[in-house]
Amino acid sequence: MQEPEITEDLVASHGFTPEEYQEVLRILNREPTFTELGIFSAMWNEHCSYKSSKKWLKDLPTTGPQVICGPGENAGIVDIGDGQAVVFKMESHNHPSYIEPYQGAATGVGGILRDIFTMGARPVAAMNALSFGEPGHPRTRRLVSGVVEGIGGYGNAFGVPTTGGEVRLHSSYNGNCLVNAFAAGIVDADKIFYSAASGVGMPVVYLGAKTGRDGVGGATMASAEFDEDSEDKRPTVQVGDPFTEKRLLEACLELMATGAVISIQDMGAAGLTCSAVEMGDKGGLGVRLNLDAVPQREDAMTAYEMMLSESQERMLMVLKPAFEAEAKAIFEKWDLDFAIVGETMEEDRFLVMHQGETKADLPLSRLSSSAPEYNRSWVETPPPAPLSDVPEIDPIEGLKALVGSPNYARKQWVWEQYDSQVMANTVRTPGRGPG
């Protein structure tokens, strides 16, 4: 397949500012290939690089005597004593849920559950915080029903209890909903797994479901502002399969118990690109990928599509070579794909091969460490207006107004769609206080 010519319009459609693209040219000292342009776009967008929020996130406290793992890994870890730790992750899936409510919310749940068991923990609970527009807004009913159904559909089938959450409706969210998903898991403090690759010439292994064209460019979509063409972005929303993810959970935990795993990374935003780059960058290594070995569920996929696909229920792992046969047998037992798709390299290089051709040859560390970082202009929130005298109101009328507000109404219709007692460990169910 002939790759498209790199034009100003193509560059702009990948989310680059003119200055950012000039930095790409400076790093490479040449024009990028189409696949390389996609890789830079994926790694430098807001969703993966935090280029606008990183300045502020650095100010947050992230250390403490109980903190085992702070920001920078798949999930945070806090010591809870007795040789155990709680692993937790909270993440938003706002843009995908606004475009395609069911799958956007479902894959948000699936993504944070993978983040939990990537660290070696078994997920034990999930929660969510949802914000929608006014009840009378034309999109609100579809968004509420789709998001709630998606959360329940994925979490229930995967087999993790949804033990609590919140729902609110306000005009501020008419233009885009907020879908925040949370998951927690338990792990032995001496059996935690991290994503930094180590060792030169170690096999890089693809695990889980096959790669398709769903979610191609999803991270870039999630970093863009919405407009009247937002509905056209529906193909960039991922499609989840909770039953496959349940098998992936069991296969990963079984393999981790053998001592075969050097490092492991969830294929989330930007898929194969982000997982491979992050593993190599954290370990100070390069990565070579052979896309001919990537399991595919669609015909004639290009290197660009495979590198940017966000097909769900996939992992990337650096494996101890002696355990290859044992690892493959475990994943075949769970009816999941297992494929050696590359190896680690000593040099700072991200080399992507497909059908005998070099599709990308980039300095790996520059994809992560050289991502632009901005100090955006901002305006301080004005102080609230002084409180005026409270108007007199009939107490009964006031009570009716409170009771009649959707924000104070009982949310039983939401939590009854979630299985809150699967695994039989739930002490307090929704509606009775904190989960």
Q: Which residues are catalytic?
A: 47, 93
Q: What are phi and psi of 92, to 5 degrees?
A: -95, 150
SS3 340: strand
- What span, in angstroms and rounded, lies between the C-alpha atoms of 161 and 186? 14
E strands in 191-281: 203-208, 261-266
Q: Which residues pair with 162 in a beta bridge?
A: 126
Q: How far apart are CA 218 and CA 210, in angstroms?
A: 17
Q: Report the alpha-carbon distance of residue 151 to residue 146 in Å, rounded.
A: 9
Residue from 202, 406, 220 nearest 288 by CA? 202
- Residues 190 and 202 sit within 8 Å (Cβ to Cβ): no
Q: Which amino acid is at 370?
A: S
State both tokens at 305: 């599509």
| Token code pair at residue 268 | 């989330």
How far is Cα of residue 90 from the mean position of the Cα atoms in its chain?
Answer: 10
Dihedral angle at the C-alpha atoms of 130, 132, 134, 139, nearest 10 degrees? -140
CB 210 within 8 A of CB 337: yes
Could you tell me the sign of the dihedral formed by the alpha carbons of 313, 314, 318, 319, in that order? positive
Amino acid at site 253? L
**Cβ proximity of 331 and 338 under 8 Å:** yes
Question: Please, how many CA atoms are within 13 Å of residue 377, restricted to the half-sphere of its CB?
Answer: 0
